[in-house]
Protein backbone atom coordinates (compact mmCIF):
# COMPACT_ATOMS: atom_id res chain seq x y z
CA UNK A 1 0.00 0.00 0.00
CA UNK A 2 1.50 3.40 -0.96
CA UNK A 3 2.20 5.78 1.89
CA UNK A 4 0.80 9.31 2.06
CA UNK A 5 1.81 11.88 4.64
CA UNK A 6 -0.68 14.60 5.57
CA UNK A 7 0.09 17.64 7.71
CA UNK A 8 -2.99 18.90 9.58
CA UNK A 9 -3.64 21.89 11.83
CA UNK A 10 -3.29 21.25 15.56
CA UNK A 11 -7.04 21.61 16.20
CA UNK A 12 -7.86 18.99 13.58
CA UNK A 13 -5.22 16.67 15.03
CA UNK A 14 -6.76 17.00 18.48
CA UNK A 15 -10.18 16.17 17.05
CA UNK A 16 -8.75 13.16 15.23
CA UNK A 17 -7.15 11.96 18.47
CA UNK A 18 -10.51 12.21 20.23
CA UNK A 19 -12.22 10.35 17.40
CA UNK A 20 -9.53 7.69 17.46
CA UNK A 21 -9.87 7.14 21.20
CA UNK A 22 -13.67 7.09 21.04
CA UNK A 23 -13.84 4.66 18.13
CA UNK A 24 -10.85 2.50 18.99
CA UNK A 25 -9.52 2.95 15.46
CA UNK A 26 -6.15 4.49 14.60
CA UNK A 27 -6.02 7.93 13.00
CA UNK A 28 -4.59 6.32 9.86
CA UNK A 29 -7.73 4.22 9.46
CA UNK A 30 -9.96 7.24 10.02
CA UNK A 31 -7.99 9.08 7.36
CA UNK A 32 -8.23 6.21 4.86
CA UNK A 33 -11.99 6.00 5.40
CA UNK A 34 -12.43 9.75 4.95
CA UNK A 35 -10.28 9.77 1.81
CA UNK A 36 -12.19 6.81 0.38
CA UNK A 37 -15.49 8.68 0.88
CA UNK A 38 -14.01 11.81 -0.72
CA UNK A 39 -12.78 9.81 -3.73
CA UNK A 40 -16.14 8.06 -4.14
CA UNK A 41 -17.97 11.41 -4.00
CA UNK A 42 -15.61 12.72 -6.70
CA UNK A 43 -16.20 9.67 -8.92
CA UNK A 44 -19.98 10.00 -8.53
CA UNK A 45 -19.83 13.70 -9.38
CA UNK A 46 -17.78 12.97 -12.52
CA UNK A 47 -20.25 10.27 -13.61
CA UNK A 48 -23.20 12.65 -13.08
CA UNK A 49 -21.42 15.35 -15.09
CA UNK A 50 -20.70 12.89 -17.91
CA UNK A 51 -24.32 11.75 -17.92
CA UNK A 52 -25.53 15.36 -17.99
CA UNK A 53 -23.30 16.00 -21.02
CA UNK A 54 -24.69 12.97 -22.83
CA UNK A 55 -28.27 13.90 -22.01
CA UNK A 56 -27.66 17.44 -23.27
CA UNK A 57 -26.67 16.16 -26.71
CA UNK A 58 -29.18 16.83 -29.41
CA UNK A 59 -29.74 14.68 -32.40
CA UNK A 60 -32.18 12.39 -34.09
CA UNK A 61 -33.02 9.33 -32.10
CA UNK A 62 -35.22 6.44 -32.92
CA UNK A 63 -36.32 3.22 -31.31
CA UNK A 64 -33.65 1.49 -29.23
CA UNK A 65 -33.49 -1.48 -31.61
CA UNK A 66 -32.67 0.83 -34.51
CA UNK A 67 -30.01 2.70 -32.53
CA UNK A 68 -28.47 -0.56 -31.36
CA UNK A 69 -28.32 -1.88 -34.93
CA UNK A 70 -26.68 1.35 -36.13
CA UNK A 71 -24.10 1.14 -33.37
CA UNK A 72 -23.27 -2.46 -34.23
CA UNK A 73 -23.13 -1.90 -38.01
CA UNK A 74 -21.26 1.40 -37.95
CA UNK A 75 -22.05 4.53 -39.94
CA UNK A 76 -22.11 2.84 -43.34
CA UNK A 77 -22.89 5.37 -46.09
CA UNK A 78 -24.24 7.94 -43.62
CA UNK A 79 -20.94 9.83 -43.54
CA UNK A 80 -19.72 11.92 -46.50
Helices (H), the chain: 10-23, 27-56, 64-73
Mean pLDDT for each consecutive 10-residue tract of the chain (80 residues)? 95 98 98 98 96 83 83 72
Query: Quick one: which of 61, 43, 59 has its CA closest to 51?
Result: 43
pLDDT of residue 46: 97
Round to whole Å and give the CA distance between 40 and 45. 9
Q: Which of helix, strand or coil describes residue 67?
A: helix
Question: The domain 1-58: what is its CATH number?
Answer: 1.10.1220
pLDDT of residue 11: 98
Are the CB atoms for 24 and 38 separated by under 8 Å? no
The full set of domain ranges for the chain reads 1-58
Does the pTM surpass 0.75? The reply is no
Amino acid sequence: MPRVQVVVPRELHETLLEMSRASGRPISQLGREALARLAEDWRRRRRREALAEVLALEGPTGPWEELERELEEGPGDALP
